[in-house]
Amino acid sequence: MNTQDNRHQLKKITETLLSPEVNYNDIRMAVHALKDLFCTAVGFDETETAKQGHIQTSGGQAISTYTAALCITDMMRTRKFLLGIKEAVEERLQTDPGKPIIILYAGAGPFATLLTPLTTVFAPDQLQMVLLEINPVSIAYLQKTIQQFGLEKHIIGIEQADAVHYTIPANYQPDILLSETMKPALQKEPQVSIVANLLPQCKPDTMLIPSTIIVEACLVGNLASDPLAIMPLQTLLELDKNTAMQINTNPVISTGITITIPEKPEPLYKRIVLTTTVNVFGDHHIGLQESGITLTSTMLDIAGIKKYPARLLFRYIMNEEPGFVAEIV
């Protein structure tokens, strides 16, 4: 297909993904159609990219090109991010009329999945992009994506760079900072380090997307058979603009957070887990277990706690393998 055909198909798929009507089958089909469209348009070699490993950064693991491509089919993630970003751009266009909204997208992957569809909604004089990506294979496919979908007028710059250490030049100063480089409970991938590096370099009114990521410690039972078998204990980390600006002084990082469980929980509860919820922007939330990025993450089995009251210390470690650690104290 030529550029015009690619954009026509992209527009149809995007309309489905942004539809106010939630038809799960339509959304599922649309995300798979989007992946197929991207892969066909750029000649994506799934066999070859599947062999490629992740890239290690000082702030966590940058996923492989193949894994990044597969993320498209996480349907509620893709839909909710597109809806949230669209609303953020519309809001910013109202407050800053007459100028395009600049989005800095850290971890753009091979297709800039969370922005490319929105080029069928916003013209170049409304939306401009700076795309950051560490992976050279992804960068090569990103260049092809721009050509095959005629995105050139939307692009300010493409940078192969480690977003954990990137310095934003003055001409790339964004209105919106976008990064979805996360696993559940903010483990392994560099979301926290990326946002903590980039956001303080942005102007004070820059919007952050996702606007909030909340990680809580909870008691859970068998959620598959009983979705209500969950008891929140305490919020450990709420990653938003405020916490990102002063991440190193956050209690869960600097000294840890202690949670006391006064007595042995009811037999219903088997594990202590971390839950993740994501507020993309406005009312566009990704709830618990709704996406691959909001699955529960087990920390301890209740059976491993031998005496009560039990005191558990949770800390978030920021290094090449970021994430929460828990110990009984």
The 3-state DSSP class for residue 218 equals strand
Q: What are phi and psi of 255, to 5 degrees?
A: -125, -15
State pLDDT tens for residues 171-230.
Answer: 999 999 999 999 999 999 999 999 999 999 999 999 999 999 999 999 999 888 888 889
Residue 199's closest CA among 183, 175, 171?
175
**In the predicted model, what is the mean pLDDT of the chain?**
96
Which CATH number applies to 3-328?
3.40.50.150
Average pLDDT over residues 284-294: 97
State pLDDT tens for residues 85-99.
Answer: 999 999 999 998 899
281 to 80, 232, 327: CA distances (angstroms):
9, 24, 34
Q: CB-based contacts of 168: which residues, under 8 Å, 6+ apart?
A: 104, 174, 198, 201, 202
Q: Which residue has the tokens 């942005």?
A: 202
Residue 218's closest CA among 297, 321, 160?
297
Retrieve residue 304's tokens: 């491993």
pLDDT of residue 247: 92
Q: CB-based contacts of 74: which residues, under 8 Å, 6+ apart?
A: 31, 291, 292, 293
State pLDDT tens for residues 45-56.
Answer: 888 777 788 999
Average pLDDT over residues 115-144: 98
pLDDT at 249 over 90: no
Amino acid at 263: E
Is there a contact between 48 and 140 (Cβ–Cβ < 8 Å)?
no
133 to 34, 110, 234: CA distances (angstroms):
20, 9, 35
Average pLDDT over residues 98-122: 98
Give burial (CB, 10 Å; 0-12/13-18/19+) of 318: buried
Angle of helix 75-95 relative to helix 3-17, nearest 10 degrees, comes to 100
DSSP line for 52-88? ---EEETTEEEPPHHHHHHGGG-HHHHHHHHHHHHHH
Q: CB-based contacts of 231: which residues, under 8 Å, 6+ apart?
A: 218, 219, 220, 265, 269
Residue 8's pLDDT band (boundaries 50, 70, 90)? very high
Distance, CA of 140 to CA of 136 (rounded, Å): 6
Is there a contact between 204 and 175 (Cβ–Cβ < 8 Å)?
no
Q: Domain extents for the chain?
A: 3-328
What's the pTM? 0.96
State pLDDT tens for residues 14-29.
Answer: 999 999 988 999 999 9
Lowest model confidence (mean pLDDT) among 170-184, 213-227, 233-247, 270-284: 213-227
Which residue spans within 140-229 are E strands per DSSP?
Answer: 155-160, 176-179, 207-209, 212-220
- Please tell me the total number of residues recorded for the chain in this structure: 329
pLDDT at 312 over 80: yes
Q: What percent of the chain has pLDDT over 70?
A: 100
The 3-state DSSP class for residue 258 equals strand
pLDDT of residue 22: 86
Contacts 24+ apart (CB under 8 A), 228-233: 229/268, 229/269, 230/275, 230/288, 231/265, 231/269, 232/275, 233/259, 233/261, 233/272
Is there a contact between 84 and 280 (Cβ–Cβ < 8 Å)?
yes
